[in-house]
Amino acid sequence: MVVQTASFARIERMRWPHVVRCVFGPVLSLCLVLLTLLAAHAAAQDQQPDWQGQVRKYCDASDWTSAMRVLEQQIARAPGDLDLKAWRARVLTWSGRLAEAQQEYLAILRLSRSDPDNWAGLASVYAREGKKEDALRALDTALQLDPRRADLHAARARALRAFGRRSEARAEFQKALALDPPSGEARVGLKSLRAEPKHELRVGNETDFLSYTGANEGNWASLATRWTPVWATSLGGGVYQRGGVIAAKFIGSATAHLPRLGAVTAGGAVGHDNAVIPKSEAFFDLDRGWKTGEAGALRGVELDYGQHWYWYQAARILTLNGVAIIYLPREWSFSLAATGARSAFSGTGVEWRPSGSMRLGFPLATLRPVQVSGNVFFAAGTENFARSDQIGGFASQTYGGGLRFRFSERQDITCVSSYQRRTQNRTDTYLGFSYGIHF
């Protein structure tokens, strides 16, 4: 009791201001420090926005310059951040700067080889560059690092499918589906590997409404078959009505798709001519294309050269044909064609006559599986070589266009119309229609 009484007495003698300083002062100081830290963090959040969100926004808008500017600013602050460098490599890939993207991924992998995403990114660059084996090796390394990732199996399957190794691609898509049963990508991938159609059956009708005589008509059918990746054939026949006279012909050709030369085609035709179409024909064609990349205004170039011989009852015609096709972004294309014709009629000398045309192709609508595309063209020359049975001695200018409706994965309809002005105030209005089915 004595000790307790003395203690209470000492406490009562303590001044309350001193108690406040000793007990509440440290608490208040701690609160002030916490508030200061929170304010500083909030200010830092205001000064350093979400760079990944900004980069994604610019990439969604295909604004690659702005996306790279944000990344360069962040890399300047943290030059050793591999995540920033990986994002830079992705943006370079998406923008089509493949050589720079490859170097960026290789630099990252020299520092750290344990992230499968970087190996997958490098594989996508190799695939777009056409380096098939390098792409597959990079994906193999990614799967060794994480074999349970369904997206990596799907990526490898896509690469194998693009390289024509369909059975291996199917197995990889099945692995991806086993690891991730709800995967829509794997299901779509397996569906895409169903047997591709080898045959195209096409039937068509053509009508020329001539201002100076009755209309000419033609009905035809053709069957094109891709037997192997190298060999293809085409067979066809048609019945034609010219000035009340009926004629018919059969045509066939074979094409070899050679890695270095391109597509080489040779063929011929024989007809029951009735003096209105060629009695026989022979032709060959060489077609070669080059892909320049997905960046820039030029995506690819295709060159085609062909020779065609026509033997009529009263004339022999040789045409030399050249076509250059320029492939542009968003599935646009532009082509220029030139033809020189050597004619030799009975009782006359041999002469050459030129003609040329230009064509612009473009997409109109895409709502899968429905696709609509169109084209417009102009041609001029001293003769019309659009159809082999209408060679004559006249000058002409032709204006026209066409539409192609693909209303399912295996069916399409094409429509073509043109208006031709000839010498002697004559005109030819052409309408063509065809239906194709792939099986």
SS3 355: strand
pLDDT over threshold 50, residue 8: no
- The band of 40, judged by pLDDT with boundaries at 50, 70 and 90, is very low
CA distances from 228 to 198, 238, 351 (A): 9, 27, 42
96: left (phi over 0), alpha (psi -120 to 50) or beta: left
User: Which residue reads 């053509």 in tokens?
Assistant: 206
- The band of 46, judged by pLDDT with boundaries at 50, 70 and 90, is very low
pLDDT over threshold 50, residue 378: yes
Summarize the confidence of residues 99-121 as an average pLDDT.
94
- How far is Cα 296 from Cα 368, in angstroms, rounded to an integer? 26
Interval 231-249: pLDDT, tens: 999 999 999 998 889 999 9
- The band of 423, judged by pLDDT with boundaries at 50, 70 and 90, is confident
- Proportion of the chain in helix, strand, coil states, percent, rounded to 5: 35, 40, 20
Helices (H) and strands (E) in the chain, counts: 11, 14
pLDDT over threshold 60, residue 10: no
Single-letter code of the amino acid located at 168: E
pTM above 0.75, yes or no: no
- What pLDDT is recorded for position 22? 53
Q: In whole numbers, what is the pLDDT of the chain averaged over residues?
A: 86
- What pLDDT is recorded for position 225? 97
SS3 14: coil
pLDDT over threshold 60, residue 305: yes
pLDDT over threshold 90, residue 206: yes
Q: Of the segments 24-28, 185-189, 224-228, 394-398, which one has the largest average pLDDT value?
A: 224-228
- How far is Cα 386 from Cα 212, in angstroms, rounded to an integer? 19
For residue 385, give the DSSP letter.
Answer: -
SS3 211: coil
- How far is Cα 211 from Cα 96, in angstroms, rounded to an integer? 53
Interval 254-295: pLDDT, tens: 999 998 889 999 999 999 999 889 999 999 999 999 988 777
pLDDT over threshold 50, residue 9: no
- How far is Cα 151 from Cα 69, in angstroms, rounded to an integer? 30
